[in-house]
Amino acid sequence: MRLGPFLILATLVLPIQPSGAQTAGGATQGPGAAAIPRAPDGKPDLSGIWQVLNTAAWDIQDHSAQKGIPGGQGVVEGNEIPYQPSALAKKKENYEQRATLDPETKCYLPGLPRLMYMPFPFQIIQKPNELTFLHEYVHTVRYIFTNGAPHPPGQIDWWLGDSRGRWEGDTLVVDTTGTNGRARPINGYVAGAVTSGVDTAPRLPASDQLHVVERIRLAGDGQYLENEITVNDPKTYLKPWTVKRYFQRRPDIDLQEYACTDNSRRDAEGQEP
């Protein structure tokens, strides 16, 4: 089993990047563009194993250390989440029923963007028309299609939704829709925040109208991955809001087994592990 997530937290310091580079046509690619690794098609190569190095898995807003909770700075722009009044009621319900409502307690998928800052590593496999994200957490597989095809019509009702990507210069822009509204896609751990986890970790609500846009790019000469996420859900939040996280490249590790489903089945049947 992998060591506990507290042991993998570290202070993230991004190195100073060189000034913008010029393409063959004279266009500026942006800071550090010449130094980052590139795929054979010229796109930034995001392949490799990555791991988040902040405390967003416990709370995406500023929070002090508590028993079992590492303190940390928030990743929400402005440190405020604009709830709809109805979402505040859902937030209270999630807290009161946190031992049963969190999909994580049943080994279900946690939803987006929460999946991206679980404190477990993930691997990106990049191909010209598709990126595959292999997460150690419950062996989750996420596909981001970059072949230009649109989202499927209608409500597809998936835990992670349908993700379609396109490149804007050296930034991968990922548009995700079609979630099922059952996930708890965001974390908040402060007193009175939304919780629905057996570990009392607050999970913010979302509906089937959740729309997530990610902007992913390499930073620090390709040793870090920046992920800026805009969350839009008119049923749940008054306006879109944004979070930004960084991941560190981890060439020193491999993905490990994550045994969850079998343990949950045994618990449900009253069996010993």
Over residues 134-139, mean pLDDT: 92
User: CB–CB of 87/236 below 8 Å?
Assistant: yes
The phi and psi torsions of 134 (rounded to 5 degrees) equal -105, 110
- Give the tens place of pLDDT for each residue, 29-38: 444 455 899 9
- Give the tens place of pLDDT for each residue, 229-242: 999 988 888 999 99
Which is more confident, 26 or 154?
Answer: 154
Q: Is residue 60 part of a domain?
A: yes
- Domain interval for residue 116: 44-268
| Cα angle: 229, vertex 81, 133; to 5 degrees | 25
Q: Is residue 92 part of a domain?
A: yes
The phi and psi torsions of 101 (rounded to 5 degrees) equal -85, -20
Q: What's the pLDDT band for 47 if we cut at 50, 70, 90?
A: very high
Q: Is residue 18 part of a domain?
A: no
Which is more confident, 12 or 122?
Answer: 122
Of 146, 202, 136, 142, the closest CA to residue 172 belongs to: 146
Q: Is residue 15 part of a domain?
A: no
Helix, coil or strand: residue 114: helix
Q: Is residue 27 part of a domain?
A: no
Over residues 182-186, mean pLDDT: 53
d(CA 19, CA 67): 44
Whether the predicted model's global pTM rises above the 0.85 cut: no
Return mean pLDDT, the chain.
76
pLDDT of residue 2: 55
d(CA 130, CA 49): 17
Q: Is residue 25 part of a domain?
A: no
Q: Is residue 1 part of a domain?
A: no
Query: 176: domain CATH number?
Result: 2.40.128.20
pLDDT at 252 over 80: yes
